[in-house]
Amino acid sequence: MRVIKQYERGLVFRFGRVQSRLREPGLTFIRPVADRLEKVNMQIVTMPVPAQEGITRDNVTVKVDAVVYFMVIDPALAIVKVQDYKFAVGQVAQTSLRSIIGKSDLDDLLSNRERLNQGLEMMIDNPALEWGIHIDRVEIKDVALPESMKRSMSRQAEAERERRARVISADGELQASHKLAQAAATMADTPAALQLRLLETVVEVAAEKNSTLVLPFPVELLRFLEAASHGDVGVVKRPPSGGDVTPGS
């Protein structure tokens, strides 16, 4: 008499030949001397994959470790086809992980792990199906980078943030210039608006209780002086025969 637990299945070898009927959980009977019972665990096995060092497609040396979740779906194949199915799955996982590292870029390893997990699961599941093993899921745990690469990525992130700050500042200046151009056009059409703006500026400066008040010089007065300087000035013309002197214009 043998007892098989709920999460196990029994595989009977009779004179070395495997029997097709699996023994279900509970109490089971085998023939003495002739039969040998092999119990197979049907639970999901969690297997950590040791960190594998490799070179990515963009020539960066990294160390990547993962974890594999698998379970036995065919006890006969798992016992007969492979000597140690746990060791076999572990070796296939390490080889597949190295292959994934060589085919991927560093950015994919850091930000696109879901797609890499699916690809790694397919690579491990293909040979495991022949051994009666089903790969439930595969996940990349950690990606270890060299210190020099970490510093380079830190400088890159800092430069990217500075670039965004400059772009935002330039965009603000552009929007402000458009608004100032619209305000200037409005004030040009309405001269009284310019005077009101001047008075508002004087009020803002006076509110600070400063001892010195600076007033802008009117641009219209400068234009008037410029026009006057280019006009004709009084010139004295003498007659050819010594007559009266008459001012010329």
When comparing pLDDT for 121 and 229, which is higher? 121
When comparing pLDDT for 171 and 216, which is higher? 171
Contact 92, 133 (CB under 8 A): no
Q: Does residue 210 register a pLDDT over 70? A: no
**Scanning the structure block, which residue is given the tokens 């280019």?**
230
Q: What would the pLDDT profile of 100-114 be if each residue is shown by its tens digit?
A: 888 888 888 888 888
**Using CA atoms, how far apart are residues 26 and 35, in angstroms rounded to an integer?**
18
**Using CA atoms, how far apart are residues 35 and 1, in angstroms rounded to an integer?**
11
Q: Does residue 87 register a pLDDT over 90? A: yes
CA atoms 73, 77, 78, 81: torsion sign: negative
Contact 101, 61 (CB under 8 A): no
**Scanning the structure block, which residue is given the tokens 């300087």?**
229
Q: Up-side HSE of residue 52: CA atoms within 13 Å toward CB?
A: 22
**For residue 216, what pLDDT band results from cuts at 50, 70 and 90?**
low
Residues forming a β-bridge with 12: 37
- Type and span of the H or E element at 217: none
Residues forming a β-bridge with 26: 4
Q: What would the pLDDT profile of 144-183 be if each residue is shown by its tens digit?
A: 887 877 788 788 888 888 999 999 999 999 999 998 888 8
Total Cβ atoms within 10 A of residue 172: 10
List, in order, residues 6 or more apart from 65 with CB less than 8 Å away: 48, 49, 50, 51, 52, 140, 141, 142
**Using CA atoms, how far apart are residues 249 and 236, in angstroms rounded to an integer?**
9
The whole-number pLDDT of residue 67 equals 93
- Overall pTM > 0.85: no
